[in-house]
A = this chain, B = another copy of it.
Amino acid sequence: MREPTEAGPDAAAGRGRAALVEGGVEFDDRDAALLRAVDATGSVAGAASDLGRSRSRALSRIETLEGAYGTLVERRRGGEGGGGSRLAASGRSLLDRYDRLQAVLAATAAVPETVLDGTVTAVDGELAVVDTAVGELSGLHGGDGDGADGGAESGWSGGIATGDAVQVRIGADAVTVNDAATAVDPDATSARNRLDGRVSRIDPGETVSTVRIAVGAAEGSDDAPDPDTEVVALITAESVDRLDLAPDDPVSIRWKATATRLVALAE
């Protein structure tokens, strides 16, 4: 399938790679391709031949995977056509799970993000409050107990304590833009982080637009705007039209604390 894209130098520029891990065994894109080929050809031998890989390794790889993920391929030897292999239901759902992970990763790579530096002022369980240039924001940090880090000894610490310097990451797909005039009762929604600002720029896309909202730290002074802090929001072009958004329009943005990730700064 899929033409030789792997050679392209910037084919995966700035992107990432993700794999499922279970029982110490990684489920790779190679493994996904193998399962798909088994599903397509109806046999492990045919799959290996299609992919240009050796049959013995393909089979032993499947056995390794099944040792960690359970039955993936129903193999039958002898019989019609000499036997064959079918993708088991659990194998299919594993593929779906892998695809979802891949989609999420592609999304986080494709969707802009806002990163603010701040200092932790309070920690309450998984939730923490961070003081930033635009005020106090609340978000989640990864320290759910201990097993939060997948890496072995990467040294990455999801744990966060009061006073720590952290990055506040807000995905542009999590930010909701509201008309400033139509104030929403803050008690009626579960979106807790709320800021007022002005549209500073709109990058129109085919169907999705990127809206940058300048959120000045100072609230009273109009002649001393802080152009430094901008929050990015990803909005459908239809919503841009419906809200009639244009540069310099006052807007109110909000996003959920549970959609905000806190990351400890290196050093």
Taking beta carbons and an 8 Å cutoff, which residues of A are in contact with B?
1-3, 5-24, 26, 29-30, 32-33, 36-37, 39, 51, 92, 95-96, 99-108, 110-111, 113, 115, 124-127, 138, 140, 142, 144, 146-156, 158, 167, 169, 171-174, 176-179, 182, 184-185, 187-192, 205-208, 233-236, 238-239, 242-243, 256-259, 261-267
Contact = CB atoms under 8 A, between A and B. Distances in A.
Given A24-B7, A155-B2, A263-B99, A150 B192 contact: no
Nearest to A206: B125
B189 A177 contact: yes
A82 B206 CA distance: 57
9 contacts: A2-B149, A3-B152, A8-B147, A16-B20, A104-B171, A104-B261, A106-B158, A173-B256, A176-B190
A158 B172 CA distance: 21
A125 B174 contact: no
A16 B23 CA distance: 11
Contact of A142 (B103, B259, B263): B103
A101 B16 contact: yes
Contacts of A95: 266
B100 A263 contact: yes
A265 B263 CA distance: 33
Contacts of A10: 23
A262 B236 CA distance: 15
A238 B23 CA distance: 36
Contact of A150 (B106, B233, B235): B106
A87 to B, nearest CB: 8
Please name the 6 residue pairs, one residue from A and one from B, whose CB atoms are nearest each other, closest first. A29-B151, A125-B207, A29-B154, A6-B152, A125-B206, A182-B188
A142 to B, nearest CB: 5
